[in-house]
């Protein structure tokens, strides 16, 4: 508001100065006296006309600018919400899939024993467990990685241009980070969390659908191998790391 008033006052002063100069020049040219009354009127009239008018105009412009900013912020917030999972803050399934592109490594990540968490402690604690897992995945991911929640307790990470060795190392890092997290249910002992990870590396010649199928096969193998495990392969599942969970 102060900016609007200052601009209006400056505009009014400019009108007064210009009016005084024109009036003085005209009167001198025609031989008419430039009296104090003329000076007063040349100052008074802009104050009662230009000042209110400029205040209204600048105030309307200010309101329009504020409305545009609010609309822009709302649009940006809506775009963020539309692209992200409301519970974990990770990319949702649609956005995750839209951002994929070969070559790269795909990691399918599934929370271990998640049904037991819901059945034992309730769905609120299950939601907390998902948020904790998501936070661990986010903390262990590089800015170039694409990280999303693609199902109920299933997450996915895509690492562009990663080799098999780099992807296996990344999977083990994420597995270890989650394994160091514990859930603290109300009136209960700390409950350890873990994930199983199936990994597939795609090249220019391997489409993403094939990579998803292979990663899903490896995820199933990780579950069968005892959970809290990373399994990667190009053709047949190969155990990368394993830490058994009681």
Instruction: Kindly report each contact of residues 178-183 with a partner whose C-beta sits within 8 Å and lies 24 or more positions away, as own/partner.
Output: 178/133, 178/136, 178/137, 179/228, 179/243, 180/136, 181/132, 181/133, 181/135, 181/136, 183/117, 183/121, 183/125, 183/128, 183/129, 183/132
Catalytic residue among 76, 94, 153, 166: 153
Please tell me whether residue 116 adopts helix, strand or coil conformation. helix
Please give the DSSP secondary-structure letter assigned to residue 91.
B
Q: What angle do CA 224, 207, 196 make, to 5 degrees?
A: 20
Pick the closest to residue 164 from 244, 242, 246, 231 (CA basis).
231
Pick the closest to residue 202 from 172, 159, 241 (CA basis).
159
Is 153 among the catalytic positions?
Answer: yes
Q: What angle do CA 109, 115, 119 make, to 5 degrees?
A: 155
The whole-angstrom separation of Cα 156 and Cα 175 is 12
Catalytic residues, by residue number, are 153
């Amino acid at each position: 508001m102060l900016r609007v008033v200052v601009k209006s006052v400056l505009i009014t002063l400019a009108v007064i100065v210009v009016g005084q100069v024109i009036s003085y020049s005209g009167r001198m040219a025609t031989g008419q006296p430039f009296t104090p009354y003329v000076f007063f009127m040349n100052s008074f009239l802009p104050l009662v006309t230009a000042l209110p008018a400029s205040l209204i105009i600048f105030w309307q412009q200010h309101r329009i600018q504020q409305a545009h900013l609010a609309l822009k912020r709302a649009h940006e917030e809506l775009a963020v919400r539309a692209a992200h999972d409301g519970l974990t803050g990770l990319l949702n399934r649609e956005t995750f899939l839209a951002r994929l592109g070969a070559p790269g490594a795909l990691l399918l990540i599934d929370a271990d024993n998640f049904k037991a968490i819901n059945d034992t402690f309730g769905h609120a604690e299950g939601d907390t467990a998902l948020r904790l897992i998501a936070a661990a995945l986010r903390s262990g991911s590089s800015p170039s990685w694409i990280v999303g929640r693609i199902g109920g307790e299933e997450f996915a990470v895509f690492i562009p241009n990663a080799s098999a060795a780099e992807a296996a190392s990344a999977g083990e890092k994420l597995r270890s980070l989650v394994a160091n997290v514990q859930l603290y249910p109300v009136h209960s002992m700390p409950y350890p969390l873990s994930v199983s990870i199936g990994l597939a590396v795609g090249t220019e010649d391997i489409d993403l659908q094939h990579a998803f199928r292979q990663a899903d096969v490896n995820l199933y193998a990780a579950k069968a191998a005892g959970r809290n495990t990373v399994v990667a392969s190009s053709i047949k599942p190969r155990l990368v790391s394993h830490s058994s969970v009681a």
